[in-house]
Structure 1
């Protein structure tokens, strides 16, 4: 009899322990009872910079990713290694337990955005594109763009990042910081500009900053890749002859504004170091970020005797060696522009 009495408490204790283990296993490791309880497929959550654990768990519940917040909080406190969840936008697949969900958020790469930075954009336009796709606002991007410590770490001159945000299509983590985006884009430019290309710049008599400045003007002058080496050749000819560049895009840059407009004669008198109608040589810095082809055009320009060019009204340019030839091309351009404006007017008002 005494032996049977001693066995019962032992069996009871073992049973309680087994039940407790089952409960704990269910609580922490069994999917479905708390996390994504409806089994409705993937859930998306956003973790902003500065979000604490409670805010993150609340976001999971509000998006339908969990029935209760407490089980996730308890799991996080008992497994402190899972508390560190990086800012980001995450897509959570179904089938998670409390533990595996936190482990997933802790270790899984966040969602990325594929972003295209077109050639020739000013830093303000780059900021607008980046802020429209990532967890970044334009003001914070622009503040980072003038941060002296960041500029110094990137070995950039005092006038900032203008021109160094290398165009292209890239994947960025959604929660990237402005500093990370800027550092990456400048890094892509540094990678592109190899030692052999730097040597070509020196051969043209240009340091890296001046080369990039001229390339940004070439980029702004023409959308035609085939014209870029010829336009670069014209500008290099003018620099060698100490002629003012008289580049309209530099005046556009001096005027500011997001969208360049047609220049007026009065605009050419604007008092700015970027006005190459008033000041000789290159402006103080780039007027946008040139792409690879514009940079290569300056490094490998077309050898030409042309000193002038003007738009031909069809997207390209007419080139001239003398001022009289240039004047004739200007007259042709103005005539073509008047014809185009008249044609557009007739299309809008056919009865007039």
Structure 2
């Protein structure tokens, strides 16, 4: 008869089996944690991960390292391949929050669920200022964006040219996806500009004998003349009165713009003779385009100017930021002497 094989119930064998099972379970838990647990580096509450247009999956992996997004690119790679992300790479700017795991990161990137960029446009003076702002906040190429602003044929469809193009840039906060093209960026700015010019505003401009771009050009001078909103309608009235009488505008800010020297404190002498179509001391009428992007307050001041006979103004000597207005040149000279005396006393040249 065969003898039955006895099971080895040695305590040592049982103990080894238990230890092996615990190690296996621990390994599985650790592996699961590494794959599914937090995988972000040490940063604040959130960070943005940028994937340039045209990127491949290998570029994403390199970007995760270079931009210091994940702690373990290897575990990210495992999860990403399981979810077929290598074949679904989408360019953009993605918000990665502290403590996110691989699964959540991959799902965000695979879905293309971008975090939009808030582009804040305040007062800008030159095309270069806008190009620099856009190209530092968005992926849009600076060369491509500048080319659009210098393309007269392209701008004609919007009723603009290479001199008036900045009229389309209304100070505001705009939302864009980071990878928006240069053309789409400009189109969105122009759409905001077009919406601003309602039939009512166009009618007010027409009553003044001005086009929308001429209103914004004049408003840009008003914008540069004062920060005091309550006196902007009076300043607008001065320039409108001069235009009606055929006088030169003689606006100091246009000289600064012509010289591209915005730090000048006093405008006199050779500055007034600088040859530029933007120098309203030399050339009559409005300059070819705006000298800055004016606020809505300045535009409204031109559309609804104060009813005055003022032809002159100069800064008050009290340093308040307000201006002294005059209807006659004699009165203006008295105001100007007071102001010049104060500048001399302060040593401002």
The answer on whether the counterparts of 1:84 and 1:106 sit within 8 Å (CA) in structure 2 is: yes
Give the corresponding residue for 2:24. Answer: none
What does residue 17 of structure 2 align with?
none
Structure 1 residue aligned with 2:324, among 318, 322, 334?
318
Query: What SS does the aligned partner of 1:162 have?
Result: helix
**Are positions 1:191 and 2:229 aligned together?**
no
* Map of 2:90 onto structure 1: 85
In the TM superposition, 1:177-216 aligns within 5 A as 177-216=181-220
Change (3 A) 1:93 1:149: farther
Aligned-pair CA distance for 1:161: 1.8
Summarize the alignment of residues 1-352 of structure 1 with structure 2, pairs less than 5 Å apart: 32-33=34-35, 36-37=38-39, 44-61=48-65, 63=68, 64=70, 66-68=72-74, 70-71=77-78, 74-75=81-82, 78=84, 83-92=88-97, 94-97=99-102, 101-119=105-123, 121-136=125-140, 138-148=142-152, 150-257=154-261, 259-260=263-264, 262-313=266-317, 314=319, 315-341=321-347
1:275 CA drift (Å): 1.3
Provide the rounded CA distance (Å) in 2 between the counterparts of 1:86 and 1:216: 38
**Long gaps (5+) in structure 1:** 1-25, 343-352
Name the CA distance, whole Å, in 1 between partners of 2:253 and 2:238: 15
Cα deviation, residue 168, structure 1: 2.0
Deviations 1:282-334 (A, max 9, x none): 11111111111111111110010111111224212111111111111110110
Task: Report if the CA contact (8 A) 2:256-2:262 is conserved.
Answer: no
- Deviation, structure 1 residue 55: 0.2
How much has 1:58 moved relative to structure 2?
A: 2.3
Q: How many residues are paired up?
A: 312
**What is the TM-score normalised by the length of structure 1?**
0.77
Report the CA distance shift for 1:230/1:31 in structure 2 as closer, same or farther (over 3 A): farther
Residues 146, 160 of structure 1: 8 Å contact kept: no
Alignment RMSD (CA, Å):
3.1
SS in 1 for 2:35: coil
Please tell me whether the aligned partners of residues 252 and 261 of structure 1 are also in contact (alpha carbons under 8 angstroms). Answer: no
Per the TM alignment, residue 271 of structure 1 is displaced from its structure 2 partner at its CA by 1.3
Q: 2:332 is paired with a residue of what secondary structure?
A: helix
Give, in whole Å, the separation in 2 of the partners of 1:120 and 1:70: 44
Once residues 65 and 180 of structure 1 are traced to their aligned partners in structure 2, the CA distance between those partners, rounded to angstroms, is: 36
SS in 2 for 1:263: coil
Shift of 1:158: 3.9
Q: What is the TM-score normalised by the length of structure 2?
A: 0.77
How far apart, CA to CA, are the structure 2 residues paired with 1:32 and 1:260?
Answer: 61
Q: Secondary structure at the match of 1:249?
A: helix
Whole-Å Cα distance in 1 between the matches of residues 46 and 242 of structure 2?
Answer: 61
Q: SS of 1:318's equivalent? A: strand
Show structure 2 runs of 5+ residues with no match: 1-27
